[in-house]
Amino acid sequence: MRDEAFLDQGVAGLTTLQTLRAMDSGPRGLVESEAEERLARWGENVAPAWRGTSRSRLFVRGLRDPFTAVLLCLGVASASVAYWGTACVTVLLVLVSCALRAAGEYRADRSMVALRELVATTTTVLRRADAEGPPAAREVPVGQLVPGDVIRIGPGDVVPADVRLLRAGGLRVQQAFFTGESAPLAKHPVDVPRAVGPELFAQAQVCFQGSSVASGSGTAVVLATGARTRFASVRREPGRRERSAFDRTVHGVAWALIRFMLITPPLVLMAGAALRGRGLETLPFAVAVAVALTPETLPVIVTTSLARGAAFLARTHGVIVRRLPALHDIGAVDVLCLDKTGTLTQDRPVFDRALDASGRDDPEVLHWAAVNAWWTLQLAELPAPDALDEAVLDAADDDAPLRYDGVSADPFDPVRRVATAVVAEPGRLGTRTVIVKGSVEHVLERCVLDGEERERLLGLAAREAGRGLRLLAVARAERPVARRDRTPADPRGLTFLGLLTFRDALTPSAAEALAVLAGRGVEVKVLTGDHPGTAARVCRELGLEPGDVLTADRIDTLLDDELAALADRTRVFARCTPEHKARVVGALRGVGHTTGFLGDGVNDLPALHAADVGICPRDAVDVARERADVVLAEKDLTAIDHAIGAGRHSSGNVASYLRATLSSNLGNVIAMLVAGLLLPFLPMLPAQVLIQNLCFDSAQLAFAYDRPDASVLHRPTVLRPRRLLRFVTGFGLLNAVADLATFAVLVLTVPDTLGMQGADTFHSGWFTENLLTQALVMVLLRTGLRGFGRRRLGPVGAAAAVLALIGVLLPLTPLGTALGMVALPSLYYLLLAAVLCLYAVGLAVARDRYEQRDAERGGGR
């Protein structure tokens, strides 16, 4: 037997005899001893094992997160100035964040292991005890199959290896996982050599591991097993994946924070040296200011929010989020790409109309088609009706076929492409009725028609097909009784009766789910291998305007920039190969969309890899589940809506946290820098800055457990760094104004505020004001002025109240004394209350106006 290169070079280009010789096999199968030798040489027939990632590797992967890198830099900076407490707290936050993220993703991996399915368990193989012995059929584990084995497959079987057919009867194989086509393909032996080209999966004589037998049976020789099968080849790792929406957001925000961190300490040092003659004694304060600017708890809040959302989806909807950041990505999706089969439509056709030769409705056409379908099923001993026959029988009168006596039948043949039934009608002795049903072209060539009439009927069929319908033609003839009843091998001289049209059965929940997705700002684009008319018809029936359908032929002529512009305004893409789907998804990402792709087959792997978030159902092919980011309980748009809602819920909490903490921190830093230039002492002691920051960050952990406003669910939640920085800058300046107003209040109410004697009082007053303004920021930036009365404050409101109490009471406690703080005069609290009221009104009004402008622009968070 030749080496494994033979299995990849195109065995379909050989005749059947040449194939058997090349495999060192024969129609009687292998000898047991030879099979054992080949098993030892080639190994078991199992795909390369998928290995879950260990907890330790997941933990280390979390350390590469940019937010975590920011925290580690802070820890190093704190340790460099001997602020060991801050350094320890920072390292603890890093460890907690990485542990939470690793735990969530490890649980998802274990859930995926539980979902893995074997391609098959046993198969029927022909083996011989010795070279002269007869072949015996027996069941063997699939793992023991070897190249050269001769196997038998039947209805319901999963093809256990890549095989070439030696014999077949009515064999139809479902290989949608490879091609995306919902209809089973006819398979039969072909002895004429044919070179292997791009249409490998369309070759009739070859079946592939992972395909399933829809009907019929066959005998085949095994060509490839294990890692050498086409199914296993798609498990090879793809190229490096482009950064997802979460990655782009994280990197943008993280680098902005790192720049601020690197700039702030030098500015503080230079300002202190230039205006106050201070030296390195201000370094601890400069580091404390950098720490105050940075949201230390951000990795913990991001991970906790996403982990809680993922746990909720798994618990309530059976959705598995395999990669925690993918939950953010699915919440940010504004374009969802999918195939129509199994999502918008079910995997079965539905009878539409029965037309006579003139194109008018004629129930007689359906009647005779039902008689053909029923008696073909009964007499040909098919295990189940073909999908089109099942649709015919569902639509016809249940008693219609039973009015006749079946005589003989030939099932649909992939070469003749017709099914033939012969029946006897009671009361008509000496006459038999031959009914033929099949493809339009093959039925017409068996009918008595002149050339002009045949062209007219082909035109009628073409018009119906252009409307996105599948077609069957029906014809009949009366024949005298033969001496021996049998089915005519190739009936001719028929009378054409008419056409049957079929449409795809719509998924019951699809129309409603599409409307819900549209309400959430998600545009659905259909990428299918089907006929353009079929895809357009399905969209129209579901309430989607298909517009101009873009076909694969046109895609091939477009440059990347041209495709990106056209894909952005196109809803339906037809005749797409896996490569076309991936290219369209990539083009949509290129124009700024956050894309999701829903697929379930091997043919969907390139697009799953190209999308920001790959989605597949639980019953998808194994390798698709391994490559997907989100695994649904079933292939249903409603499940995707649940996942989108959970993603936006989690991302909304993260966005609220970022806006609140960065605005407050930036305002405090600006005020500290200004005050540091005007005062003969530091505006706050480093220890006070760090305690204040610790209190604020601890309170903001409540954002991870918050319930955001319902408006968050109405549009994609994208954390756009530039827009976030504009928001932070505007509201940070507003916060700085409030801080500086408090500076003025302290000057008015506390004697010698600008001298060294007033330092402790100034520190205490500013510490209290900072925590109170931060509590207001937490509440008002979350709800706004209009939402303050109608939204429950929840955990964020409770945390803000505790934060405010700490700000008022801590200076009065022994801990406050130890930190260098003192009690404040009553007049200070009265004037501070006035400042805070004005600040609250300004904050709420600015927030509502910002939200209104943002909604008018239709942008993300």
3-state percent breakdown (helix, strand, coil) of the chain, nearest 5: 55, 15, 30
pLDDT one-digit tens code per residue, 775-810: 888 888 876 555 555 556 688 888 999 999 998 998
Q: What's the pLDDT score for residue 435?
A: 93
pLDDT one-digit tens code per residue, 88-137: 766 776 777 677 667 756 665 565 455 444 334 678 899 988 888 888 88
Q: Which of 80-84, 218-222, 226-230, 800-804 has the lowest mean pLDDT?
A: 80-84
pLDDT band of residue 369 (cuts 50, 70, 90) is very high
SS (H, E, C) 200-240: HHHCCCEECCCCEEEEEEEEEEEEECHHHCHHHHCCCCCCC
Give the pLDDT mean for 392-417. 82
d(C-alpha 776, C-alpha 602), whole Å: 53
Give the pLDDT mean for 832-846. 86
Q: What's the pLDDT score for residue 9?
A: 42
Q: Which of 234-238, 464-468, 748-752 has the lowest mean pLDDT?
A: 234-238
d(C-alpha 654, C-alpha 346), whole Å: 38
Q: What's the pLDDT score for residue 12?
A: 53
pLDDT at 180 over 50: yes
**Residue 294 contacts by C-beta under 8 Å, 6 or more apart in sequence?**
70, 71, 74, 257, 260, 261, 665
pLDDT at 464 over 50: yes
Q: What's the pLDDT score for residue 477?
A: 92
More confident residue, 299 or 590: 590
pLDDT at 524 over 90: yes
Q: How many residues does the chain have?
A: 861
DSSP secondary structure string for all residues of 388-401 = HHHHHHHHS-TTTG
pLDDT one-digit tens code per residue, 294-322: 676 777 788 788 888 888 888 888 888 88
Give the pLDDT mean for 188-204. 67
**Residue 179 contacts by C-beta under 8 Å, 6 or more apart in sequence?**
185, 201, 202, 529, 601, 603
pLDDT averaged over every residue in the chain:
80
Give the pLDDT mean for 416-444. 88
Pairing of strands 122-128, 30-31: parallel
Q: Is 339 a catalytic residue?
A: yes
Q: Taking the mean position of all CA atoms in its chain, how far away is CA 600?
A: 10
Q: Considering 339, 410, 600, 739, which one is annotated as catalytic?
A: 339
